[in-house]
Amino acid sequence: MDTFGVDIGNTQIKVAFWREDSLQAVHRVRTLDEASALIHAQSCTRGIVSNVGMEEERLQQILPDWGNPLVFSSTTPIPIANQYRSPQTLGLDRLAAAVGAHVLFPQEPVLIIDIGTAIKMDIVLPDEGFVGGYISPGIRIRFQSLHSFTNRLPLLEPEPFDSLIGQTTQECLLAGVMQGTLAEIEGMIQKFQVEYPFRLVFSGGDAHFFESQIKTTKFTEPNLVLIGLHRILQHNVH
């Protein structure tokens, strides 16, 4: 394995290893120390790091120990166009996912739906590249908000709930969050379809709650950001 990628998100860290262009393994860890142990166990010659969930100072302290990999930023050259009007505020995970979608479907418009801490929907076009998209609260944020901004509503963990109507407070919360989120996603897919005859790509840690309920033909890729990071590394290191 000669290449590694580290995707530092809001809730977890993903560490991936490639041999040539072949993804060999993806590990999910909680700390930089765990990530370091994985990287040191391999003989990688180059790497890339994307960080959206950790203090920059802490990351900078450990980069020399990782062989000073490429740190993905808003100024890093990428192999697709970026139409975002404020690129310095664009989440690096969204941009890397866009590159990953282009790697998978270079000749097709793609709608990426990433369901994680936030729900992100982004459009990638064959020639125009990353066009922009949409952000709304993820399901865990919705449950947390209902609990935090009321006096009596309990804090629930996400779980599948197929009924439109709840008959207990817990069921009402599940119906509101899970069915409401599903309706939001389906409604936005319909709106996007009017303008873009897209390929739908699902990703994100909470996508599994909705995959089977979305009837639109879709492609699920849990490692979309990592695929994009690997392509960005290739674009910058020759």
How far is residue 119's CA from residue 101's CA, in Å, rounded to a whole number? 17
Residue 128, pLDDT score: 95
How high is the pLDDT of residue 45? 82
The question of whether 206 is a catalytic residue gets the answer no
Find the distance separating the first CA and the last CA of the chain, reported in whole Å: 17
What does the pLDDT read at residue 165? Answer: 95
Tell me the per-residue pLDDT of 9-34, one tens digit each, with 9 for 90 and over. 877 899 999 998 899 999 999 999 99
The one-character DSSP state at 16 is E
Spot the catalytic one: 93, 122, 162, 206: 93
Rounded to the nearest 5 percent, the helix, strand and coil shares of the chain are 40, 25, 35
Q: What is the CB neighbour count within 10 angstroms for residue 169?
A: 12
Extract the tokens encoding 70.
């490429």
pLDDT tens track for 81-99? 999 999 999 999 999 999 9
| Beta-carbon count within 10 A of 66 CB | 18
All structural domains of the chain: 107-238 (3.30.420.40)
Mean model confidence pLDDT for the chain: 93
- Tens-digit pLDDT profile for residues 142-162: 999 999 999 999 999 999 999
Which pLDDT value is given to residue 21? 84
d(CA 38, CA 13): 12
Q: What is the mean pLDDT of residues 22-48?
A: 91
Render pLDDT for 112-146 as a digit per residue (tens, 0 to 9): 999 999 999 999 999 999 999 999 999 999 999 99
For 213, the 3-state DSSP assignment is helix
Is 90 exceeded by the pLDDT of residue 56? no
Taking the CA atoms of 167, 170, 171 and 175 in sequence, report the sign of the dihedral they define.
Answer: positive
How much is the CA Rg of the chain, to the nearest whole Å? 19
Q: Which amino acid appears at position 172 of this protein?
A: C
Token pair, residue 114, equals 């990433």
Predicted TM-score (pTM) of this structure: 0.92
